[in-house]
Amino acid sequence: MELKTKVNAEAGKQDMVITREFDLPVELLFRAFAEPELMEQWMGTKVLKFEGRKHGSYRAQTTDAQGKVVFSANGTFHEFIPNKKIIRTFEMENTPMGVQLEFYDFEKLTDTASRLNAHIVYQSVAQRDQVLKMPFAQGLNWAHDRLQEIMNKSK
């Protein structure tokens, strides 16, 4: 089966390209990136600030049940062309991940289908690889935590 979401990260390069085709008109796909209420739903984070325009900026934050901040990020828009293009920076706060530059291209395929092309550039090869490895490492951590929980219960 052809994978819907593709990640192209060539070895030794400091960028990556994520592509995905959607069964959505390009206008709807763009709205998912341009309206904070919608973004909150699929990103699973709270949008604190969103100025969807050139030189505008955004901030997002996720808190756990105790109100502790577990994720916060911010960035600035360099280009914001409806149904066509978004260029923005993205920085995860309080992490060593650095700032990344993101080029989102929204492409109309048919009246009901569209494609997203996200080109993400990092400061270094090491930083990109760090980001790539994060979900893998998290998966390991979660597996470890679950194991720990089970072990604690069986004590």
Using rule CB under 8 A, residue 133 touches another protein: yes
Using rule CB under 8 A, residue 42 touches another protein: yes
Q: What is the C-alpha to C-alpha distance for residues 28 and 120, in angstroms, rounded to an integer?
A: 22
Nearer to another protein, 133 or 146 (CB): 133
Using rule CB under 8 A, residue 136 touches another protein: yes
Contact residue for another protein among 15, 17, 28, 99 (CB under 8 A): 28
- The per-residue DSSP string of 11-46 comes to TT-SEEEEEEEESS-HHHHHHHHH-HHHHHHHHTSE
CA angle 32, 119, 89 (to 5 degrees): 70
Binding part of the chain for another protein, among 29-37, 64-72, 74-82, 83-91 by CB under 8 A, reads 29-37
* Length of the chain (residues): 155
Contact residue for another protein among 32, 47, 87, 99 (CB under 8 A): 32
Closest CA to 74 of 54, 94, 44: 94
Q: What is the C-alpha to C-alpha distance for residues 135 and 9, in angstroms, rounded to an integer?
A: 15
Using rule CB under 8 A, residue 34 touches another protein: no
Using rule CB under 8 A, residue 59 touches another protein: no
Using rule CB under 8 A, residue 143 touches another protein: no
Query: Which amino acid does the sequence have at 115?
Result: R
Using rule CB under 8 A, residue 5 touches another protein: yes
Torsions phi, psi of 109, nearest 5? -100, -55
Name the minimum Å distance from CB 14 to another protein: 10
Interacting residue ranges for another protein, rule: CB under 8 A: 3-7, 9, 11-12, 18, 20, 22-24, 28-29, 31-32, 38, 41-43, 116, 125-126, 129, 131-136, 138-139
